[in-house]
């Protein structure tokens, strides 16, 4: 399973070769600073104790405290957490915010836990990692199957341990306890700002393009809602149960009501049920993978018809698929740029917590727009200077340059 982390290090090596970086600096970026694995005994509702395994990988903090989500998923493993922590290091550097990269996770199926069990698991996780996290050390956030409520429990438990109210220990909290306005939709809105910049650069007119969005969780759903409200035609969306397709365009507001009523997007009146795999191969201009990793692979890359793959999920495109798609001239807008709106607004939340001074939503969104468009411009210029259409390589060049400069300046 250790293939995923190998893949990201290959990407780092490829970037370093283009940049002609010294071996020593690269050696530091190839390995995480710290890997922590903790056993988490949790009292279950039936009176038994069950022991879960919790992970936290602190990859690099040369530019600031470690930053990264905690995911609760049955497939969480160390290789995945290491990979995600590396990506966070790159993402924070691309976005040019003063954070390093980290990631956490627990191997658990949350659908099988009661609310009480979920709370006890989260508090156990907090106790297990309390010495390693904190506002100036490592600041967790929500990820797959974790949410503002889970962050609230984490913050509460940490505050009890430290004996003082510490909202800045996590981001993505409810607004009532120091969360930021606009955080819930930040990843999607930031992505949408980048999306519009990409279309402008490629001279793709809004009226003529069609989108397919894979994944109707928080990120995919909000991206679809924002794009639909802005007048874009979305012909397909999907969730874990399957996908729906209507070549004339879906009414996303009605799809959302249908999903809330039935628990899934499938069987939506007037649309055709298709599979998640078929969605990626539709005759559309833009595919937006907003679900889990490795959905566009060497096997299906040849059948992808879109001109743009806009990565709103983490790591949806494998390295082998990327080689094929680059040859076909498909523009891949990488996750480390496209979905960095979440961590940018997490940074704003942290700043508000540390200053005890809170912003209105308009201020959050205007700062987000400026920060993410600056990041986009820097990546696009770097790509053009390379003379190719490899946007991921350009993003990595931007990030690695910033990380290496920080290493040199600090004298490590």
Spell out a b/e string for 261-292, using b for 16 or more CB atoms within 10 Å of the CB, else e.
eeebbbebeebeebebebbbbbebbbbbbbbb
Q: Residue with structure tokens 């793959």? A: 309
274 φ/ψ angles, rounded to the nearest 5 degrees: -135, 180
Strand partners, 210: 233
Identify the CA nearest to 391 among candidates 312, 308, 298, 316: 308
Which residues are within 8 A (CB) of 19 and not within 5 positions of it... i.e. 6 or more apart? 397, 400, 401
Kindly state the helix (H) or strand (E) to which residue 269 belongs, with its residue range. Answer: none
Identify the CA nearest to 68 among candidates 53, 49, 82, 54: 82
At 339, list the tokens: 């979905």
CB atoms within 10 A of CB 407: 17
Q: What does DSSP say about strands 233-239 and 138-142: parallel, antiparallel, or unpaired?
A: unpaired
139 φ/ψ angles, rounded to the nearest 5 degrees: -115, 100
Candidates 91, 103, 173, 324; catalytic one: 103
Strand runs labelled E in 225-307: 233-239, 242-245, 272-274, 286-289
User: Is 293 exposed, middle or buried (CB count within 10 Å of its CB: 0-12, 13-18, 19+)?
Assistant: middle
Q: Residue with structure tokens 């069990």? A: 117
The answer to whether residues 213 and 309 touch, using CB atoms and an 8 Å cutoff, is no
The answer to whether residues 333 and 310 touch, using CB atoms and an 8 Å cutoff, is yes
C-alpha 374/C-alpha 69 separation (Å) is 24
CA 255 to chain centre: 24
The answer to whether residues 8 and 16 touch, using CB atoms and an 8 Å cutoff, is no
- Residue 111: active-site member: no
Q: Which residues are catalytic?
A: 103
């Amino acid at each position: 399973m250790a293939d995923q982390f190998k893949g990201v290090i290959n990407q780092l090596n490829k970037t370093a070769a283009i940049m002609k970086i010294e071996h020593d600096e690269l050696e530091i970026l190839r390995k995480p600073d710290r890997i922590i694995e903790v056993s988490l005994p949790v009292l279950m509702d039936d009176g038994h104790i069950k022991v879960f395994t919790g992970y936290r990988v602190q990859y690099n903090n040369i530019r600031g405290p470690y930053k990264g989500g905690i995911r609760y998923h049955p497939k969480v493993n160390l290789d995945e957490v290491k990979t995600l922590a590396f990506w966070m290091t790159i993402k924070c550097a691309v976005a040019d915010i003063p954070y390093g990269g980290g990631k956490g996770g627990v191997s658990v199926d949350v659908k099988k836990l009661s609310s009480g069990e979920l709370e006890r698991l989260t508090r156990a996780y907090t106790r297990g990692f309390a010495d390693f996290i904190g506002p100036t050390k490592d600041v967790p956030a929500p990820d797959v199957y974790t949410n503002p409520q889970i962050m609230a429990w984490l913050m509460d438990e940490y505050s009890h341990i430290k004996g003082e109210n510490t909202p800045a220990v996590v981001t993505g909290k409810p607004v009532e306890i120091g969360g930021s306005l606009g955080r819930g939709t930040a990843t999607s809105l930031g992505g949408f700002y980048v999306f519009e910049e990409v279309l402008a650069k490629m001279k793709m007119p809004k009226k003529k393009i069609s989108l397919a969005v894979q994944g109707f969780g928080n990120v995919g759903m909000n991206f679809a809602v924002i794009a639909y409200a802005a007048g874009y035609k979305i012909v397909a969306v999907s969730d874990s149960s399957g996908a729906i397709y209507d070549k004339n365009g879906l009414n996303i507001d009605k799809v959302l009501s249908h999903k809330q009523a039935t628990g899934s997007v499938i069987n939506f009146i007037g649309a055709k049920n298709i599979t998640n795999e078929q969605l990626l191969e539709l005759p559309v201009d833009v595919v937006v993978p907003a679900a889990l990793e490795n959905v566009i692979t060497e096997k299906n890359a040849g059948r992808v018809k879109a001109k743009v793959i806009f990565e709103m999920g983490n790591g949806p495109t494998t390295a082998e698929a990327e080689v094929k798609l680059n040859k076909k001239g498909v523009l891949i807008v990488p996750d480390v740029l496209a979905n960095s709106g979440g961590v940018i607004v997490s940074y704003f939340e942290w700043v508000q917590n540390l200053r005890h001074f809170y912003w209105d939503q308009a201020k959050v969104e205007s700062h987000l727009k400026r920060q993410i468009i600056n990041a986009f411009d820097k990546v696009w210029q770097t790509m053009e200077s390379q003379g190719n259409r490899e946007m991921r390589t350009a993003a990595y060049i931007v990030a690695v340059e910033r990380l290496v400069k920080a290493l040199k300046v600090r004298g490590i």
